[in-house]
Structures are given as C-alpha cells and as structure tokens.
Amino acid sequence: MTDSIHDMGGMDGFGKVEPEPNEPPFHQPWEGRVLAMQRAMGYAGAWNIDMSRAAQELLPPQVYVSVSYYKRWALGIEHNLLKQGLADAGEIAAGHAKTSAKPLKRKLTSEKIAAVMTRGSYGRPAPVPARFKPGDRVRTKNIHPQTHTRLPRYVRGHVGTVELVHGCHVFPDTSAVGHGENPQWLYTVVFDGRELWGADADPTIKVSIDAFEPYLEAP
C-alpha cells in the first residue's frame, strides 16, 4: 500500500532518536535467523526485495509501529509464504511441513553464500533515452497508488531539481506486484527545505530522494 504507516518522512510525535552505545549486530538469536531466511528465500527466487517491502507495508499501522524491525521481517516472510503458496497457515502455526513443497528456482547452500552477501544489481539497459538531465526542474506527481511505490508522500506535488542520473533501474512499483522489472530512469531530485516544509522552514536544509521517471513531470 502506498499511504500507509511505513511512509514516515515528516511525521511528528515519535520522540527523540535514542542511539544505543555498543549495540550488538543482533539483540536476540532469532533476529539473525530471520535476516538469513529472508536472504535465502530471495536467493531461491521465492519473492524479490520489493515484494518483501510491500508485505511489511501491509501490516496494520498499530502493528508496524509497535513490533521490532526483525519481527516485521518475520511477519513479512509469513505473509509472502502464504501469498506465494509456499506454505500454508497450518504449517506455519505447527512448525512442520505437512504439504509438498513448491519448486523454487534454486537453493542457497553454504558454498553459495557469497552471492547474498553483496547487494544485487538493479541497473538495466535503457529501453528509451532519459527524459530529464541534471539541472532540470521537475515536479513529483501527486499520485496515490493502492500498491507499492517508492515515492514518499512528503515530496508529492513538489518542485525540485534533478541532480544525479543513475541510469535505468528495476521499477519497484511493478516489481512488487509481480508485473516485471519494467526498467525506468532513476534520478536524484533535490528539494529546498522550504518547498517541502513551508516558507518558515529552515532555509539551510535540502532534501533529496531517488525518483523513478514515472514519478516526475515537467513543473
């Protein structure tokens, strides 16, 4: 979903940032297992990174803000297992497989883990020339898709400047719903803080997002 709780930029009321001194990589042993399961299932082709984000965005807001980061991941994995027909709710509740497995593309074994310790590449050959270039003024569209998007609410309908062109990348909006990679040009677009937060905002602040071309129009 697009306008859900995960899209937090600019919200008030969450309080102070509280750094934890000497924080360990994991606070509980199960957190590491969840992270590793997510990597292994991604490698297996069970779902992609956009689908794993989209699953977490479907969590009810009160759940999303009250559970830990890795619990959100675990809930997202459970959601995607059911959605992809890879396990059923009875199996997840019982902790044992009762039905036959669905074939996956491949399986992550110990010799292969280097493949998941480096981020994948999302750059793709460009099907069409870029519409914008550095220095161009652009407006982000005021859109509210009912499915996954990476255009945050706080920038929608605002005018910024193209600063970087990153090439063509996998488009999360289609990738998340199984409609393919549909590569789109990706730009860093920078906004003046006052454009986003009003005339009395701090004039020394600039904020950028990475915006796919379908999010942008001429101002």
Partner 1 sequence: MQLRVRALETVLSEKGYIDPAALDLIVEAYETRIGPQSGARVVAKAWTDPEFKSRLLADGTAAVRSLGYENPVGDHLVVVENTDRVHNMVVCTLCSCYPWEMLGLPPVWYKSAPYRSRAVKDPRGVLRDFGITLPQTTEIRVWDSTAETRYLVLPMRPPGTSGLSADELAALVTRDSMIGTGFPKSAERA
104 vs 126, which CB is nearer to partner 1? 104
Of 63, 165, 177, 196, the one binding partner 1 by CB under 8 A: 196
69-83 and 49-57 helices, crossing angle to 10°: 110
Sites for partner 1 among residues 90-149 (CB under 8 A):
91-97, 101, 104, 107-110, 112-113, 116-123
For the purposes of burial, counting CB atoms within 10 Å of the CB of 80, is it exposed (0-12), middle (13-18) or buried (19 or more)? buried
Q: What's the DSSP call for residue 190? A: E
79 vs 136, which CB is nearer to partner 1? 79
Count Cβ atoms below 10 Å from residue 13 Cβ, excluding itself: 4
Kindly report the length of the chain.
219
The pair of structure tokens assigned to 118 is 């480096």
CA distance 57 to 93: 22
Contacts of 106 (CB under 8 A, 6+ apart): 43, 44, 45
CB of 178 to partner 1, least distance (A): 18
Q: Verify binding: residue 152, partner 1, rule CB under 8 A.
A: yes
Sites for partner 1 among residues 64-83 (CB under 8 A):
65, 69, 71, 74, 77-78, 81
CB of 73 to partner 1, least distance (A): 10
The SS3 assignment for 132 reads: coil
Q: How many residues bind partner 1 (CB under 8 A)?
A: 91
Q: Verify binding: residue 200, partner 1, rule CB under 8 A.
A: no
Instruction: List the beta strands (DSSP E) in 117-158.
Output: 123-124, 137-140
103 vs 129, which CB is nearer to partner 1? 103
136 vs 212, which CB is nearer to partner 1? 212
CB of 42 to partner 1, least distance (A): 11
Of 19, 85, 129, 135, the one binding partner 1 by CB under 8 A: 19
CB of 218 to partner 1, least distance (A): 21
Distances (CA, A) of 200 to 98, 150, 193, 195: 61, 27, 10, 10
CB of 109 to partner 1, least distance (A): 5
Q: Verify binding: residue 89, partner 1, rule CB under 8 A.
A: no
Report the chain's terminal Cα–Cα distance, integer Å.
Answer: 26
34 vs 136, which CB is nearer to partner 1? 34
Q: Verify binding: residue 37, partner 1, rule CB under 8 A.
A: yes
